[in-house]
């Protein structure tokens, strides 16, 4: 009994990674490097466009810029280390680095769930209460909602990380994954993992099920309003933005829920890795294209920025601005 109650943590963990095939590793390194660079540049470009163009200084684009910053942080927590391990012989990660990765990975992931829920509420107010939109979605309210999303993510992550690192691992330090993730760590712990599993379940309810339920409620109200109303171009423009948000929600929640809510008996380790790659690596790279290619305001802001850049070059570089 004394041994099971004592918390033992290894000095380092061994990440088994995606594959042992050297040729596939090199190919994955090349592909994931391009995708990661695309994700970082694309999301940062959206932040720059929202900041530079006054027409994008609205609640929707305020949340979109928050979301883009979040995506850069989220993918950067995992991908650089994953890329280095694809070419490294020893895929070890020190305990402290594993703990830091676990904390920030959970923080940004949970914040994304909350922020997607907030963005759906913004669309709900814009379509269902268009005359009161500016009164409801004030600057102060938007900042408060975004801040609550970020703080909530870091809070729930701290609780989950603490319960995970309370487990006893002993000599079990091989993680069959490419990152330090809570389910993967709990699965190799021995002894009393009941508290960690209960914490993970409760956290899933508050950070996955509840935000997704709020999103479904918002879009149910939006659909009800659309079917029962006649509206002009302004309302059609607001509705068109919903398709981009719904696409992102489907990609993110679909892949995450396929891991966390799938029965253990049917959840293969290969499926978990593929789904993780999808929402950690691929989805952040797709989001800028989903929002920019389907959004005329973003496209116009990009054209305006490119035109301004050409004008600066023609006038003799940045010196011509002085």
Dump pLDDT digits (tens) for 84-108: 999 988 889 999 999 999 999 999 9
E strand intervals along the chain: 12-15, 92-94, 174-175
Higher pLDDT pick, 229 / 154: 154
Least confident residue range of 10-14, 50-54, 195-199, 228-232: 228-232
Query: What is the DSSP code string of 239-277?
Result: HHHHHHHHHHHHHHHHHHHHHHSS-TTT--HHHHHHHHH
For 34-78, what is each residue's pLDDT tens digit? Answer: 999 999 999 999 999 999 888 889 999 999 999 999 999 999 999
What's the burial of 75, exposed, middle or buried (CB within 10 Å: 0-12/13-18/19+)?
Answer: buried
Residues 6+ apart with CB under 8 A from 112: 67, 70, 71, 74, 153, 252
Please report, for the chain, the start and end positions of each structural domain, with discontinuous segments joined by +.
21-306
Q: What is the pLDDT of residue 322?
A: 31
Give me the mean pLDDT over the 305-317 stretch.
66
Q: What is the pLDDT of residue 11?
A: 87
Q: What is the pLDDT of residue 196?
A: 82
For 116-128, what is each residue's pLDDT tens digit? Answer: 999 999 999 988 8
For 244-295, what is each residue's pLDDT tens digit? Answer: 888 899 989 988 887 776 655 445 677 788 888 998 999 999 988 888 766 7
Alpha-carbon distance 89 to 97, whole Å?
18
Give me the mean pLDDT over the 132-154 stretch.
96
Three-state DSSP class for residue 94: strand
Q: What is the pLDDT of residue 237?
A: 62
Place of tokens 């599993």: 197
Q: What is the pLDDT of residue 161?
A: 93
Q: What is the pLDDT of residue 321?
A: 38
For the chain, give the mean pLDDT: 85
Higher pLDDT pick, 236 / 316: 236
Give me the mean pLDDT over the 233-253 stretch.
77
Higher pLDDT pick, 153 / 316: 153
Q: What is the pLDDT of residue 319?
A: 47
Q: Which CATH class is domain 21-306?
A: mainly alpha
Give me the mean pLDDT over the 222-236 stretch.
70
Give me the mean pLDDT over the 20-33 stretch.
93
Q: Over 60: is that where the pLDDT of 4 sits?
A: no
Which strand ranges, in their side-by-side order, compose the sheet holding 12-15? 92-94, 12-15, 174-175
How is residue 57 written in tokens?
């200084």
Q: What is the pLDDT of residue 103?
A: 96
pLDDT band, very low/low/confident/very high, at 110 (cuts 50, 70, 90):
very high
Q: Over 50: is that where the pLDDT of 174 sits?
A: yes
């Amino acid at each position: 009994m004394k041994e099971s109650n004592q918390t033992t943590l290894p000095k380092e963990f061994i990440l088994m990674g995606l594959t042992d095939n050297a040729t596939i590793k090199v190919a994955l390194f090349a592909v994931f490097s391009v995708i990661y660079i695309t994700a970082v540049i694309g999301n940062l470009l959206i932040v720059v466009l929202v900041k530079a163009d006054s027409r994008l200084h609205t609640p929707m684009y305020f949340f979109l810029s928050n979301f883009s910053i979040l995506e850069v942080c989220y993918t950067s927590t995992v991908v650089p280390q994953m890329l280095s391990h694809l070419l490294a012989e020893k895929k070890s990660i020190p305990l402290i680095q594993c703990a830091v990765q676990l904390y920030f990975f959970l923080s940004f992931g949970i914040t994304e769930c909350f922020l997607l829920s907030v963005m759906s509420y913004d669309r709900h107010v814009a379509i269902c209460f268009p005359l009161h939109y500016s009164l409801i979605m004030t600057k102060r309210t938007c900042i408060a909602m975004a801040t609550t999303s970020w703080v909530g993510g870091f809070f729930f992550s701290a609780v989950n990380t603490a319960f995970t690192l309370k487990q006893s691992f002993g000599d079990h330090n091989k993680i069959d994954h490419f990152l330090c993730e809570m389910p993967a760590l709990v699965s190799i712990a021995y002894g009393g993992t009941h508290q960690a599993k209960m914490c993970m379940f409760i956290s899933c309810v508050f950070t996955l099920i509840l935000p997704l339920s709020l999103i479904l409620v918002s879009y149910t109200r939006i659909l009800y309003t659309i079917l029962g109303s006649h509206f002009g171009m302004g309302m059609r423009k607001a509705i068109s933005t919903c398709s981009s948000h719904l696409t992102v929600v489907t990609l993110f929640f679909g892949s995450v829920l396929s891991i966390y809510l799938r029965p253990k008996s049917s959840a293969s380790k290969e499926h978990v890795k593929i789904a993780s790659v999808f929402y950690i690596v691929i989805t952040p790279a797709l989001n800028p294209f989903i929002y920019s290619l389907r959004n005329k305001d973003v496209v116009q802001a990009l054209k305006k920025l490119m035109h301004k850049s050409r004008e600066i070059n023609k006038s003799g570089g940045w010196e011509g601005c002085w």
